[in-house]
Structure 1
Amino acid sequence: MSRAQDRELAPLTLSGVPRASLMPAEVALRKREAVRRRGLISIVVLAVLVVAGAIVAATLYAANAEARLAAERAVTEQLLGEQLSYQEVLEVRGQLADILAQRQAVTEREVLWRTIAEPYLAILAADGTLEAATITTAAIADPVLLRQDPLRVLPTATMVLTLNTAGLPAPYSWLRSFETLPAYGDAALDSIVLQADGTYMTTVTVNLSSEALSGRLTDEAANG
């Protein structure tokens, strides 16, 4: 439609109060600008309030976390202090455990030779003179002496005894007598050598079982 047709179709006002705006357009523009500035200021103020609230909340949370950390640190320091107060006791207990372990290592292969060897030597002394005695005990690091014969008992200790007799010895009777003695494991005849003076030098090996061990530490531990 053309503007002329629009005017023709517009309603015709027959009467009314005439209105006219005498205010300059610049004044209306300034009002609109003022309203817009107030809106922008309100938005900025609201944003500042939100940011300030977030900062306050973060500060309170950090303060609370720091307070909890300080409390936990205080508890830790208290526990460390209590542990230090018992440190001397722990050190004494550790030293005592070390002493007992060393003592056990030393005595676990201990043999009371005077008590164990006397019955064996008495049997030999009845027939001749003891010329030499070599005693070997299993080392602490080794459970038993190495076996050379699979049919022989693994010994805890070994005695190699050399006896001088005036006449031909009877070593097998000695070996049978040894079987009745405490801590006997097994025995063997090593050699019989005729000496220049007509005497005989006989060597026998006696292996002792674990019954030869003194067991002093075990007995003390059992008694308490």
Structure 2
Amino acid sequence: MTAIPVPFSGAPRVNLMPRTEVARRERDQLVRLWVWIVLGAIVVAVLIIAGAFAFKFFADQRLVAEQARTTALLTEIASLSEVSQALATESELTDFRTDAMATDLAWTPVIGKITGILPSDTTLTGVDLAVGGVPVGDDPALEQGLVGTVTFDSPTPIDIVPLIRSLRGVEGVLYADGQSVTSSQVSSGRYSYLLTVEFDQTVYSNEYAAEEGGE
């Protein structure tokens, strides 16, 4: 049998270290590795905790600033409470006046419209008119605003039909009734006449009406 020569390169070496020492060194190396891993984990945890505390700190600072701003705003609002109450009271009074004076009218133009159609020798002797409802529609010329009776007298008899037609043609008059006309000679020698008349809401002054776009 022919022996196969074993190739060698360099000088031969022999590991004379006991296996127990090799195992110990391996254990030491493994322990050091785990120590570094644990230390790294601790450092990461500390950084995370520090970051959380820093975030909470800045959040608390912002919260304190917002609370201070809120307190300042509440103080300003409280200082304006009297002004707000005064404005609210003014608004309520304005609304009340608007409702209460919705049927306000100037009597002089109304009387002028009636006397304007009377003959020159005829005298207006009585007016019994009452205001109608509060304006609710868009066209005041279609709503009843003033209704009642008027009395006038004349030294001579007059044709009441043309007079009623003239009254019906007056601006703002919705209706004039001639059925209730009475004629009688009084002791003074004058004749008395009674008419019913109805005006629309254009006779209202609207002086206290709410402004457009206002409350």
What is the CA deviation profile of residues 117-149 of structure 1, one whole-angstrom value per residue up to 9, with x for unaligned ones? Answer: 48747959947975xx542323115349999xx
State the partner residue of 1:156.
145
Map 1:25-64 to 2 at 5 A: 25-64=19-58
**One-letter code of the match for 2:49?**
I
Structure 2 gap segments, 5+ residues each: 210-215
Q: 1:154 to 1:48 in 2, by over 3 A?
A: closer
Equivalent pair of 2:164/2:178 in contact (CA under 8 Å) = no
SS in 1 for 2:7: coil
State the partner residue of 1:188.
176
Structure 1 gap segments, 5+ residues each: 148-152, 219-224
Determine which structure has the larger helix proportion and give its number.
Answer: 1
Is 1:79 matched with 2:70?
A: no
State the partner residue of 1:208.
199
Distance in 1, Cα, partners of 2:13 & 2:197: 147
Distance in 2, Cα, partners of 1:12 & 1:87: 104
Q: 1:142 to 1:161 in 2, by over 3 A?
A: farther
**One-letter code of the match for 2:196?**
T
Deviation at 1:210, TM superposition (A): 5.1
Deviation at 1:77, TM superposition (A): 1.5
Equivalent pair of 1:175/1:187 in contact (CA under 8 Å) = no
Q: 1:84 to 1:18 in 2, by over 3 A?
A: closer
Distance in 2, Cα, partners of 1:212 & 1:92: 34
Is 1:137 matched with 2:126?
A: no
Aligned identity (percent) is 18
State the partner residue of 2:213.
none
Q: 1:141 to 1:134 in 2, by over 3 A?
A: same
Aligned pairs, number = 203
Deviation at 1:40, TM superposition (A): 0.8
Higher relative contact order (CA 8 A, sep 6+): 2
**One-letter code of the match for 2:84?**
L
Equivalent pair of 2:135/2:201 in contact (CA under 8 Å) = no
Q: 1:139 to 1:37 in 2, by over 3 A?
A: same
Deviation at 1:54, TM superposition (A): 1.0
> Normalised by the size of structure 1, how large is the TM-score?
0.66
Deviation at 1:98, TM superposition (A): 1.7
Q: 1:166 to 1:211 in 2, by over 3 A?
A: same
SS in 2 for 1:188: strand
